[in-house]
A and B are shown apart, each in its own frame.
Chain A
Amino acid sequence: MTIIQRGFAALAAGALSTALAVPAFAEPVKFDFWFGLSGDLARVVDTLCKNFNDSQKDYEVVCTSQGNYDATLQNTIAAFRAGKQPTVVQVYDVGTATMMLSGAYKPADKLMEENGYKIDYSDYFPGIARYYATSKGEMLSFPFNSSTPLMYWNKDAFAKIGKTEAPKTWEDVAADLKALKDAGYDCPMAINISANESWQLMEQFSALHNQPVATKNNGYDGLDARLEVNKTKFVQYVTDLKKWYDAGLIKIKSKDLGQDMVQAFATGTCQLILTSVGDHGTVGRTQKEGMNWDVAELPVYAGTERKNSLVGGASLWVLSGKSDAEYKGAAAFLNFIHDPKTALFWSTNTGYIPVTKSGFEFMKSQGFYDKAPYKGREVAIESLTASEPTEITRGVRLGNFTQIRAEFGTQMQAIFANKVSVQEGLDALVKNGDAILARFQQTYPGKTLP
């Protein structure tokens, strides 16, 4: 026997003994979870994963941050094409339509059922569940980190103009901004007009006013949906924003210019912003010493019957092509995340809101919302549950929505730079957005959204 042959024999023996030893040692089944959060939030996810691994001995989840949502989806697609996909992946809200048509997932509700977990889907806040559910109401993925936008207002500044309450209508906002300006505030309100702000400026505004973003119930009923924001109340909203910007009542704040709007609010530079409840913690941590501020629901135009706001954030998808053991682990992991105690941990350490009624009740019973710094975050739940979701306030389900948001940013910038009129800009948004939608539809011939 040569040395090489002996080596092989030894290796084979070793492999055999390891294989035989597995049942005796019961090594935990490992599976991958890829997520798109970074920084502080990534550390919280890591702790969450550690808590899961410590809570039982059968499974071990390996959590890897991919940096951001876009990269997570891109990397997952690349991995899937190479057959090396993770078992669980976090996909952002606007990726939902793409995921549904991918044929690359295992429906979350089926997974839980097969593995003997009973999940009460009616426990999810309807506004959250409907965003991710199919048109028939099946949950293909599990809501994870969820948020909704709020209006942050500086109580000190509003006190100077004799106001103790946040404005409820855009008409009031206009009057208050004018008064703030007259009282010597240089930046009464801050907005940004990049792709990201499509969320609070276009999508949420449309939901609150029960206005469609696209035909076919915002895309829920078919891939042939097309945009129609150039003929809804949204036109008036953009016109007003532009008018207030021209009058110096609104300033544009973005990271590229030096200071983003959350910083501008926290430092007391600007007195009013619209941003995610997820920034509640950041404002609290970075605010100017002694500044009094609060949050309120986004304003609506006078005479509007307020509807629920939309959920933002991401959901957890289980991908196809994995082993039964890995699916068992994934089901246990999703069940762990679904637990109200996890909801408390998650919301305490991030700004995200609980996604289930039981989670919310549990947090309330623990006194979470009673005192600073968490007081005020319950407004997000009020906003999300302001009404039963209507056909068009379930959410927005359009293909390649990331590109439509980018188009939103482009056209808003053109409008605010006076290159085009409001109507021209929104017409261009619809035209270019429709081309994106048509292309998406063409890519998936004969397929329909579940």
Chain B
Amino acid sequence: MEKRVTFGRWTIGILFAVPQLILIFTFFYWPAGQAVYWSLTLQQPWGGGNIWVGLDNFRSILSNADYWNSISASLVFAGISTGLAMSIALVLAALTDRQLAGSWLYRVVLIWPYGIAAPALALAFRFILAPEAGFMAVVNQVWPGVWDPGLDGSDAMASIIVAFSWKYVGYNFIFFLAAFQAIPRSLIEAAAMDGSGVIRRFWDIQFPLITPTIFFLLVINITESFQDSFGIVDIMTSGGPANATNLMVYKIYSDGFKGLDYSGAAAQSIILMLLIIALTIVQFRFIERRVHYR
């Protein structure tokens, strides 16, 4: 007879879950609930009182052209930086996996960027990309005025995309390399003996086998590009020029903390949360179908 270990009463199970539930409640549901409440009221910053305004905060945000500009900037940023960070990491991992000369070195070095805090790396990139003093000064000397993130919105956007992608290449690289190395060597060797080249083997064998990793990284990268971009934007552009890099998460910060508009910021963070949830659902519904789990 099969022997099963069960708890006599369901209360014991609940008791075991309680510490975890309390943690989640205190650090997630309670603040999130508070944010929802704030977004439906107008809060005086010093706590002098608040008034119930219903959905007014959402209405005024959604009717504001600057906010839509911020949403589209965030989507552009998320799309391009995720694409860049993932494709570069994929190529680097594929090459490292082929045991090219010096791959042991790349394996170590490429992980480092992820370990650098966003503000520190933003500061480094600010120097590198400064049009007058940095590396880009050389470019500006050849073609005067071609690189000007101080006034040109696309240049500023390019700067923060480069900085963010640089960080996440390292992160993605670790996962891709692990995924490649989990593929049985016999499969690749068999294909090689059948006469297929490097590219062919990549597309027909390796790529399909790492789709679960690609999917995982896609979800993580998009989510992080909405949230982790704050430090980079704050140091490199402060949302400028002319709001070109005023990403949603940065706008929440500047409206809430600099502008002391706690209610407006709370409403914006609810919208951001819904947007990320929606994007994640879309990814699970439509992209996950093409993922082959082994």
* Nearest CB in chain B: distance from A64 CB, A: 19
Q: For residues 286 through 303 of chain A, which have their beta carbon under 8 Å from a beta carbon of chain B?
A: none
Known: A77-B46, A98-B45, A98-B260. A417 touches B126 (CB 8 A): no
Query: Is B240's CB under 8 angstroms from A413's CB?
Result: yes
Confirm or deny: A335 has a beta carbon within 8 angstroms of a beta carbon on chain B. Answer: no
* Nearest CB in chain B: distance from A408 CB, A: 11
Within 8 Å by CB of B236, from A252, A256, A413, A419, lies: A256
Q: How far is the CA of A250 from the CA of B257 in the complex (A)?
A: 33
Query: Is A414's CB under 8 angstroms from B258's CB?
Result: no
Query: Is B243's CB under 8 angstroms from A410's CB?
Result: yes
Confirm or deny: B204 has a beta carbon within 8 angstroms of a beta carbon on chain A. Answer: no
Stretch at the interface among B6-14, B28-36, B150-158, B205-213: B150-158
Q: For residues 185 through 227 of chain A, which have their beta carbon under 8 Å from a beta carbon of chain B?
A: 194
- Interface mask (B250-274 → A, CB under 8 Å = 1, otherwise 0): 0000110111110110000000000
Query: Is A257's CB under 8 angstroms from B150's CB?
Result: yes
Q: Chain A residues near B149: list those with CB within 8 A.
A: 256-257
Stretch at the interface among B96-104, B130-138, B185-193, B223-231: B130-138
Q: Chain A residues near B283: list those with CB within 8 A.
A: none
Q: For residues 379 through 434 of chain A, which have their beta carbon under 8 Å from a beta carbon of chain B?
A: 400, 402-403, 406, 409-411, 413-414, 416-417, 419, 432
- Interface mask (A67-103 → B, CB under 8 Å = 1, otherwise 0): 0001001100100110000000000000000100111
Q: Is the interface of B mostly helix, strand, loop or mixed?
A: loop
Confirm or deny: A439 has a beta carbon within 8 angstroms of a beta carbon on chain B. Answer: yes
Q: For residues 93 through 144 of chain A, which have their beta carbon under 8 Å from a beta carbon of chain B?
A: 98, 101-104
Q: Chain A residues near B119: list those with CB within 8 A.
A: none
Query: Is B48's CB under 8 angstroms from A103's CB?
Result: yes
Tally of B interface residues using CB under 8 Å = 40
Confirm or deny: A444 has a beta carbon within 8 angstroms of a beta carbon on chain B. Answer: yes
Confirm or deny: A18 has a beta carbon within 8 angstroms of a beta carbon on chain B. Answer: no
Q: How far is the CA of A104 from the CA of B46 in the complex (A)?
A: 7
Q: Chain B residues near A252: list those with CB within 8 A.
A: 150-151
Q: For residues 150 through 198 of chain B, which have their beta carbon under 8 Å from a beta carbon of chain A?
A: 150-153
Query: Is B132's CB under 8 angstroms from A259's CB?
Result: yes
Q: Chain B residues near A439: list those with CB within 8 A.
A: 60, 261, 264
Confirm or deny: B44 has a beta carbon within 8 angstroms of a beta carbon on chain A. Answer: yes
Q: How far is the CA of A416 from the CA of B43 in the complex (A)?
A: 36
Q: Chain B residues near A417: list those with CB within 8 A.
A: 151-153, 241-242
Confirm or deny: B66 has a beta carbon within 8 angstroms of a beta carbon on chain A. Answer: yes
Query: Is B241's CB under 8 angstroms from A400's CB?
Result: no
Query: Is A256's CB under 8 angstroms from B130's CB?
Result: yes
Confirm or deny: B82 has a beta carbon within 8 angstroms of a beta carbon on chain A. Answer: no
Query: Is A77's CB under 8 angstroms from B45's CB?
Result: yes
**Extra inter-chain contacts (12) besides given A258-B130, A400-B260, A435-B64, CB under 8 Å:** A194-B238, A252-B151, A254-B150, A258-B131, A259-B133, A400-B261, A410-B243, A413-B241, A417-B242, A436-B259, A442-B42, A443-B261
Interface residues of chain A, those whose CB is within 8 Å of chain B, are 70, 73-74, 77, 80-81, 98, 101-104, 194, 252, 254, 256-259, 400, 402-403, 406, 409-411, 413-414, 416-417, 419, 432, 435-436, 439, 442-445
Interface residues of chain B, those whose CB is within 8 Å of chain A, are 42-48, 51, 60, 64, 66, 126, 130-134, 137, 148-153, 236-238, 240-243, 254-255, 257-261, 263-264
Q: List 5 A-B contacts (CB under 8 A).
A: A70-B258, A102-B46, A103-B46, A411-B242, A443-B44
Closest 8 CB pairs of A and B: A258-B133, A258-B132, A258-B130, A413-B241, A403-B259, A414-B242, A102-B46, A413-B242
